[in-house]
Structure 1
């Protein structure tokens, strides 16, 4: 039995909620009567309610995000019908900003902002019989030196089976309008000595995969260098993920990044758009020459895996402008390029663009754009399919040589758009397309529609499969396999299955 249950729906089982662990770490004397319970979106909501209520909690705190808002609303509705005396407290980005676009009316309290202290104080008051009159509680910004850190609350199962998330700073100095981080425009840092001590404790417990959620990891050079130096001193294989700004890679930082082994370092680089006019519309800094210089350096002189972001549907941007951005990025980097559809997040200032640019959004999560003055609803739908097939073929690293045959003259967007339209005509599907089937589709399109040389296509695809670490060649590719692989077996290679290694 637990008096307080902290719960959320993660997007995948491999994810672990850092937010819940922060709340739990700061419950002080209430910790012994509290527990974290994590679920995954699209589980049976009634069974989850049953599991929560089996612990007879007086308070249930739920962390709410754009990906789980619908599940949260359904859950709290069931909890209140079955156990109306249980106090429901919501927090997280999707609950923090009014007006709510999902019905959270069954929640007793909602905490907006950083909840570590505010949630503890609310629970303390409620359990002591102190009434709170305000349903919506605006939490003040916390002192990072005064809160308990959550990393001891990753358990052995988390370490063995889940990502371990960390943060060394909060806030973002930039004002990009599509991003909630722009609300907190002052950078605050945790003490670096304290953080490296936490890294060491996690390392000693066996953690080898560290995912940092800082928005601008490389902004403060001395801080970033200390963190990189910590890991560079380690000998065993490990994996690090950082979000970085694309125009700030001084020499000292470059030198450190260049020292990391292949598949050890992943950098998520927020590009979003390469059109200066569009970037100016949404208050996003865009120093194109510096971005190109840095991406080319990372591509040519480091073994870091790059994950670049582009957004479809930004205010004022046409598909032609987006196409130029995609073609340019492919010429600058061989890293993954994540193509996302613009979302209108609660709390951002994106609404000011609605009338000038005809922005129309879905009313349900993830609130993706449906059309703009410059991009029609039909084109947005096509771009969603484009993005899905792009992820399967380009970002996966499974078709590195063969997918490039689509654009011999560098017209990446135009050629892949035509291919994605053809694939959808053949399949009427974007999900549950097996890799072998997608390979056959790509082969047929290149040979029958684009009239590429069958031998060239077959050899490229066989080479791609051989790079896949033990993947058996599909029957239609076996005639194109190298002689030493004529039995259809792919090269064994490394045991790693990471997309980083696939694209190396």
Structure 2
């Protein structure tokens, strides 16, 4: 198929080295739809930078691409520069760069990359006018609002800002047909129901560059989601929806309307979803939590950032430590499966003492919500056009590597007044270890219901949570929880008096036997315990095992008394997660 515009998001896959595909960038999908609706057929590719170069060559030479758009954010700026140079040097095509990092791209970027223009701010209308200019020769670069470019004297020209799109429903819905085959990770449906954020956190790009909040109408959002769900149904894929909005919980009325629509969609489509939440709004409007839960929400992501109130105030988080704790209590009581918090290490006013306090606060949160609360850490990274980047000294910071030449978000690029990069790095590693140790200590406090739920979400929807890994780290417990998730029973949910007709099935592998009994982990079993465990393979009921062993092990007991003894041993095995019970 011949088309004119190719939009590309390319990275080197820094993180964990296992990612096969990048997620869909909703902004590129919207750009493609907007351009297509105005007569410029566009396609989108998201992938590894070397593969992206191959795709570019193929599509330019075979599909007739005549304009390339590159998506640039904090972590892929160098990839964007190199791809731009490759396109300009090999094919001489115009290249436009946009994305979150674009507002900070200066003269050096334009000169190094050779990009023809940088889109600053919202891209739909701006990119359309750039397409008219580059593909049809209409107008001039200087007459296009919302861009930066080099003039003939190699000086940067920044045109006036473009007004924001007031009615987001006027943007055509994303169309999966615009994506090149196998170009992004489609295990998750990515949704954006609005734009802008009013909170202005000191470290955040969104709140300082697009503060005006605008929403898509709920019917518009649901129409897009239903189309994506239909496509996933045809592919027979597991369906998880991620709402990227920073302001998802800002308007309780809208949340209620959206949840009602999601519930209707779930009548015909099997999916779950997760979103971002703001602490202050959840505390003020706690009724949102059960609303979202009933509509299929399984994960709530919240930026805690610090366990020190002075730091939260410096970040302008507009919340308190007490509010954060209250959100956990509300979510835990409501039965929210997963609540994920983030702690920034090496940020504003950071010292060893603030890290210690944040660590203790993280431990407290985990203990308030065992099996639900997960704490992730991140190193502070100076995003463009934010107060902490433009005035780091006011936050007790020195930015040492603004272009991140030494980091893949895995090593600090700042230092504080009391902490070097090396110390910040060591402290983050310590925080991670402490969090992991705390979760491991608290795992016995996690209810069986939450434990099985974690396995259910992993097996059915592919949601991998930290608690799932903690709860299933021991092989026998992983088997135990998986069996319960798939229909076997634990004794407490069996009708009293009926256990004798159920078939016990062991969850442990038989290994060492010392001539008397089995040794399972650090337990040395008696001869009778070993016989009961040996017979627990699901082929005999509890009653039949007792009857089979009674002649050899009943001694002076009646059969009824011996049956009670066998049942007691099976229940003791169950308490160690060694045993489940099958009805059939």
TM range (shorter): 0.7 to 0.9
Partner of residue 329 from structure 2, selected from 273, 291, 296:
296
Q: Is the 8 A contact 2:392 2:399 kept in 1?
A: no
The equivalent residue for 2:242 is 211
The equivalent residue for 1:89 is 96
**Counterpart check, 1:57 vs 2:65:** yes
Q: Is the 8 A contact 1:91 1:111 kept in 2?
A: yes
**Counterpart check, 1:247 vs 2:297:** no
**Counterpart check, 1:141 vs 2:164:** yes
Alignment of 1:46-445 (within 5 A): 46-54=53-61, 55-84=63-92, 86-99=93-106, 105-130=113-138, 131-133=140-142, 135=149, 136=158, 138-145=161-168, 147-153=170-176, 161-183=186-208, 184-206=210-232, 208-233=239-264, 234-235=266-267, 237-249=270-282, 250-259=285-294, 264-332=297-365, 333-334=369-370, 335-350=373-388, 351-354=390-393, 357-365=396-404, 368-386=412-430, 393=436, 401=440
Q: Is the 8 A contact 2:191 2:225 kept in 1?
A: no
The equivalent residue for 2:28 is 20
Distance change in 2, residues 1:39/1:479 (3 Å): same
Distance change in 2, residues 1:285/1:273 (3 Å): same
Q: Is the 8 A contact 2:260 2:295 kept in 1?
A: no
Q: Radius of gyration: which is bigger?
A: 2
Matches of 2:213 and 2:172, distance apart in 1: 18
Local SS of the residue matching 2:281: coil
Alignment of 1:22-41 (within 5 A): 22-28=30-36, 31=39, 33-41=41-49
Q: Is the 8 A contact 2:97 2:118 kept in 1?
A: yes
Matches of 1:100 and 1:291, distance apart in 2: 43
1:52 is displaced (CA, Å) by 4.4
Distance change in 2, residues 1:230/1:56 (3 Å): same
**Counterpart check, 1:4 vs 2:5:** yes
Matches of 1:73 and 1:491, distance apart in 2: 56
Distance change in 2, residues 1:64/1:213 (3 Å): same
Local SS of the residue matching 2:287: helix
CA distances 1:196-236 after superposition (whole Å, capped 9, x unpaired): 23333333333632111100211100111122222234245
Q: Is the 8 A contact 1:344 1:361 kept in 2?
A: no
1:163 is displaced (CA, Å) by 2.1
Q: Is the 8 A contact 1:49 1:75 kept in 2?
A: no
Local SS of the residue matching 1:161: coil
Matches of 1:321 and 1:404, distance apart in 2: 27
Matches of 2:397 and 2:184, distance apart in 1: 47
1:300 is displaced (CA, Å) by 3.0
Distance change in 2, residues 1:34/1:205 (3 Å): closer
Distance change in 2, residues 1:472/1:389 (3 Å): farther
Q: Is the 8 A contact 1:311 1:339 kept in 2?
A: yes
Q: Is the 8 A contact 1:274 1:286 kept in 2?
A: no
Q: Is the 8 A contact 2:23 2:46 kept in 1?
A: no
The equivalent residue for 1:499 is none
> Structure 2, unaligned stretches of length 5 or more?
14-18, 143-147, 150-157, 234-238, 445-468, 484-506, 513-518, 538-576
1:28 is displaced (CA, Å) by 4.1
Matches of 1:346 and 1:59, distance apart in 2: 26
Distance change in 2, residues 1:30/1:255 (3 Å): closer
1:106 is displaced (CA, Å) by 1.3
Matches of 2:510 and 2:200, distance apart in 1: 49
1:282 is displaced (CA, Å) by 2.5
